[in-house]
Amino acid sequence: FSFQDGQKHYTGVLTLEKVTLEMKKDWQNNDREAHKAENVFYIIDGQQRLTTSIILIKVLLDNLELEKNLEDTDGIKWFDDSTKLDTIKTRYIGDKNQHGTNYYFFGYTFDNPSFEFLKTEIFGDKTLATSSYEGKQTLYTQNLLRAKEFFEEKVSKLESIEYKKSIFKKLTKQFKFNVYEVDKETDVFMAFETMNNRGKPLSKLELLKNRLIYLSVKLENPDLRVAINDCWKSIYWYLGKDKDNLLDEDDFLRDHWIMYYGYKEDKDAPTFDKYLVNKRFSIKRITHKNSQFGLITPDEIEKYILSLKECVKHWYYLHNIEQSVYSNEVKILLDKFKRLRYGVFKPLIMTVFTKKERLS
């Protein structure tokens, strides 16, 4: 925030897709009436920048709320004499509907593991604590929490209220986005992949999820899309279950790839992520009968994501043996492997436990 007051700061492109009435039908029972808004958009590109900005806005407002309470004043005035802190909260974070239910201008769809976490832990909506929110954390909710804690620490060290208000004003008035709304003819999933293959990309796990959902849409199989989201919920949860020892998603995806498709030592072979996205789950497999693997089918995708969902639990146990459901004898043996850092044995051990669970 080193730029001057009144100076615009270019923050990049926001690529949006307007939510249609048909799309709203899929989540209108879970979105706390957000579907009733006239203009609702999916964020195709720019989500991380918006998420970071919203978290910082909330931290600044919470801190200034504390300042207001300490001074026992009638609200902090901002850009003009009539604008006060409570008004600003309803302008940038959210408000209550006619039934007294909280709603928010920014959030996730209900099938995202961060759906309730953002509202409960970041926005501080305690009305959810006794409803659908279970308090589960994932690899991505940990990132949200770390961002909030980071900003809280930095803002708490700022002594001047005027400087805090200056940061807020720059954040809300001087950031400049180029907003691009994709049209109906644009393939949203491919636009997502293209944009995130430039600059700093999303994780391999996220890009694989996007590709699988894209294929499920092309196969006109909505149940498959639900299954994919459910699978990724499990993956996120296990990878972030131990907040002091977050597990690496690329390591898991690589080990599962070795287990599921087999490893062949070939210097010209593609890396695991290129194999999954560019070959096994290639877009060409929708229409090309003569491709290496033939036409893609819902059954093939379903079996793959089922294996991912089954294996992530055991992969978690390999890193957290004491929490596993294995016998004491097995735990002792695993501990010996773990002290040797497992070497190349993790995919093999994961295979054994997964198959054993299926047979039991």
- Residue-level pLDDT at 149: 95
**Gap between the Cα atoms of 286 and 189, Å rounded:** 15
Q: Kindly report, residue by residue over 281-291, the tens digit of the pLDDT.
A: 998 898 876 66
Structure tokens at 327: 């016998």
Please write the tens of the pLDDT for every residue from 73-110.
Answer: 555 555 554 567 778 888 888 888 777 778 888 888 76
**Neighbouring-strand partners of residue 176:** 10
Q: Say what the pLDDT of residue 130 is.
A: 45
pLDDT at 28: 57
pTM for the whole structure: 0.64
Residue 35: C-alpha distances to residues 24, 86, 97 (Å): 6, 24, 12
d(CA 244, CA 137): 12
Phi, psi (5° rounding) for residue 57? -60, -45
Asked if pLDDT for residue 339 goes beyond 50, the answer is yes
Q: Provide the token pair at 215.
A: 């294929």
